[in-house]
Amino acid sequence: MKPSFSTVACLDWPLDRVCEIAESAGYLGVELRTFGSGSTECACDPALTDPSKFRAMLDRSGAEPVCLATSVRFDAPHPTGPIHQALGDLEQSVRQCKFAIDLAAELHCPFVRVFGFEIGAHERRASALERITDRLGKSLDHARNSGVRLVIENGGSFGTATALAELIDMAASPMLGAAYNIAVAAAEGENPINGLNVLGERLLTVKLKDYLHGRPCGLGRGDVITRPVVEQLARGGFAGPVIFEYDRCWFPDLGDPTAVLRDASRSMYEWIGAATPGRRPGRTLLAV
């Protein structure tokens, strides 16, 4: 597996500082948060920098861009009535996703993270699934032959592995897999270990984050099941990115994340070693 971290922990950092912590803490991958073209919310947003320069800096750090994490969601309702239909933009999410796919291809980044998200309170589930998978399908068609796959993260009406698997199976594309966020799953009452089994081969990336009293905290320091998940992934030979997400982006009062990111890397390597007695993971792709 590839111990990785998300730049939601350090959106105010320039790219050279992101690369510095990736190298010094021994991370093998970085999930790059993007808010799209023209955004100024993130100093290390790859949409704001020449992709070849961005990739070269990461290469020198020894870490790979493992996922381009977007806010794209495919649940916007169809406009009703002739005026709303004329003004409605049914393809905005598809265009945003296509832009992200093209950017990921330039970065040599294998995955783009998207969401399904909410089903309306008075909407038939079948209608919502059809709308979401139709837009998802258009995005997947664009990803074909790009070297990039989409990963859809659990959340909203698709918070559990079972709901996520249903959406992935409806899309019926080898270009789509699961980005499983264990904190979201746990909040939905799902045992993340069971969720890993439900997703099976659909699982492409795993998101680790921890909370204590409703606030982000260091990995393994809070209430979310984290270590057993990493150990289970190691025993099963999972080779994809396992991404630590520290939500400082949404909690700016958390302060500098350097120590938290270093500690999370140490914990992940320790847990991988604990899951494989007699073997100590080195700073290479870990196949257990």
**DSSP-derived secondary structure for 135-203:** HHHHHHHHHTTTT-EEEEEPBTTB-SHHHHHHHHHHH--TTEEEEEEHHHHHHTT--HHHHHHHHGGGE
Q: Can you give the pLDDT at residue 85?
A: 45
pLDDT at 250: 86
Q: Which residue type sits at 165?
A: A
- Helix (H) / strand (E) element for 70: namely strand 64-73
Q: Tens-digit pLDDT profile for the chain (288 aa)?
A: 999 999 999 999 999 999 999 999 999 999 999 998 777 779 999 999 899 999 999 999 999 999 999 999 999 986 654 444 443 466 899 999 999 999 999 999 999 999 999 998 889 999 999 999 999 999 999 999 999 999 999 999 999 999 999 999 999 999 999 999 999 999 999 999 999 999 999 999 999 999 999 999 999 999 999 999 999 999 999 999 999 999 998 898 999 999 999 999 999 999 998 665 544 444 444 443
Distance (Å) of CA 54 to CA 2, 37, 45, 85: 20, 15, 10, 40
Specify the pLDDT at position 131.
Answer: 94
Residue showing tokens 């999930």: 31
Contact present, 208 and 242 (Cβ < 8 Å):
yes
Sequence spans of domains, the chain: 2-275
- Cα atoms found within 13 Å of the Cα of residue 243, Cβ hemisphere only: 31
Per-residue tokens: 267: 């914990």
Q: Of 209, 83, 95, which is closest to residue 154 (Cα–Cα)?
A: 209
2-275 is classed CATH 3.20.10.10: no
pLDDT confidence of residue 89 = 63
Buried b / exposed e along 86-95 (16+ C-beta atoms within 10 A): eeeeeeebbe
Burial class (CB in 10 A: 0-12, 13-18, 19+), 238: buried
Kindly list the distances between the CA atom of residue 249 and the CA atoms of 23, 237, 252, in Å, as whole numbers in the listed order: 22, 32, 6
Q: What is the pLDDT of residue 281?
A: 45
Phi-psi region of 261 (alpha: psi -120 to 50; beta: other; left: phi over 0): alpha
Sign of CA dihedral 263, 234, 283, 208: negative
* Distance set, CA 267 to CA 17, 196, 233, 281 (Å): 21, 20, 14, 12
